[in-house]
Structure 1
């Protein structure tokens, strides 16, 4: 009976360790080329490929979870997943709540885009996704901010005449401008690059991903991946 109990305990402990090595990666799934849902209904994009490679290098088993952007940090801190990898710029305000890895992109431009090159972005109505560095910038700029839950809705607002222009990551806007009547109105640099976010208590897990990001920088594979997905902010 004693040996059976000990054997059961060892199995339970082993299962606990195995469970701890399964990391749930939270993303939005609505911000190409960083992350989106493909035709098969799966998370795809630069961050899917990056996240899978980081998990491989960190020798971790990972699963993917999608979450609306406006609650993506609260659902991390409440334990619904273990890390955020969702085009999230590193900012001092967010760093008060979560712990970031080093950036896996350098700061890349955010851009204004509208249906006319004559728009004065200083006094215009500007659409931005809520809870982003872009919406915070517009709010502080003196322009009129209109916020939307998703990036696609910001584009729809400009096309419908509800906003004069949109401010978003240029990587997101590039294919949209190329295939529509929108024109770029100017670039700005915001934030400190994009990184993964973790609960502050998960320093060991964060360290494993930080080391994996560093290894991808060192061997050049991160820049190759950024090139593949046509994302600025190479190292």
Structure 2
């Protein structure tokens, strides 16, 4: 019954991308595990690769994956270098002014601060964050000194080499790093930022947006999205 509902919805939307082009290009960063990363075989892997492949299958779309640096990921979507962003991107009003978003495929995920000492005063600290992230905006809001880096790995390296006092990022990214490095520890409580994570779509691609909305909803309805969240993002709240 749920499959029939999805098929009906996709028929109504006309599967716009499939009619307009042969291949839908799925843009991701490939550097932010467990959301997306390059595995040992040189392939894009992670939560969003598995999710995106399933969404494309349900929508009966032919999709291919491309990577792009985070700091130019929105401009390159707008300029047509790929058709979606599926890269751990939180839905925010500022981003929504430039691109459209599908409905969220995760709830707002917790962010964490990690440093070398647990009693760090965040308001007076020097904190690293990846450029253009909601975490970078949070550091500015609390009045701490923000140091931005192009990649998430650079933010962690800056803590380890003493360039900054702490790093802030999604807890799902930081948790395995803290587990493996005894010198790193959480500072304070988790922080909820943003409005959940969705796929970024050009504002002109309304049919493609609705096609993926229908596929996301079908995964919510039959429980498969929660299964993926439990597998890859166990700290995240299910739908």
Q: TM-score, normalised by structure 1?
A: 0.91
**For 1:140-167, what per-residue CA distance to the aligned partner results, in whole angstroms no more than 9, with x for missing partners?**
2110000000000000000000010101
Match of 2:219 in 1: 216
Match of 2:69 in 1: 68
Match of 1:5 in 2: none
Is 2:193 the counterpart of 1:190? yes
Greater relative contact order (Cα < 8 A, sep 6+) = 2
- Runs of 4 or more, structure 1, over 2 Å off, are 16-19
Q: TM-score, normalised by structure 2?
A: 0.90
Match of 1:175 in 2: 176
Match of 2:6 in 1: none
Aligned with 2:123: secondary structure? coil
Aligned with 1:122: secondary structure? helix
What is the alpha-carbon distance in structure 1 between the residues aligned to residue 85 and residue 206 of structure 2?
14
Match of 1:148 in 2: 149
Match of 1:115 in 2: 116
1:227 is aligned, of 227, 230, 235, to: 230
Match of 2:39 in 1: 38
Task: Count residues in correspondence.
Answer: 220
Aligned pairs for 1:87-102 (under 5 A) are 87-102=88-103
Match of 2:11 in 1: none
Q: In structure 2, do the counterparts of structure 1 residues 221 and 165 end up closer, same or farther at CA, with 3 Å as the change threshold?
A: same
What is the alpha-carbon distance in structure 2 between the residues aligned to residue 91 and residue 145 of structure 1?
20
What is the alpha-carbon distance in structure 1 between the residues aligned to residue 109 and residue 69 of structure 2?
23
Aligned with 1:172: secondary structure? helix
Q: Is the 8 A contact 2:18 2:61 kept in 1?
A: no
Which is higher, the Rg of structure 1 or of structure 2?
1
Offset of 1:108 from its aligned partner? 1.3
Offset of 1:22 from its aligned partner? 1.2
What is the alpha-carbon distance in structure 2 between the residues aligned to residue 89 and residue 24 of structure 1?
20
What is the alpha-carbon distance in structure 2 between the residues aligned to residue 17 and residue 44 of structure 1?
24
Q: Is the 8 A contact 2:90 2:197 kept in 1?
A: yes
Offset of 1:233 from its aligned partner? 3.0
Taking only aligned residues, the RMSD between alpha carbons, in angstroms, comes to 1.3
**For 1:79-119, what per-residue CA distance to the aligned partner results, in whole angstroms no more than 9, with x for missing partners?**
00000000000000000000000000000110001011121
Q: Is the 8 A contact 2:126 2:164 kept in 1?
A: yes
What is the alpha-carbon distance in structure 1 between the residues aligned to residue 18 and residue 215 of structure 2?
21
What is the alpha-carbon distance in structure 1 between the residues aligned to residue 179 and residue 117 of structure 2?
15
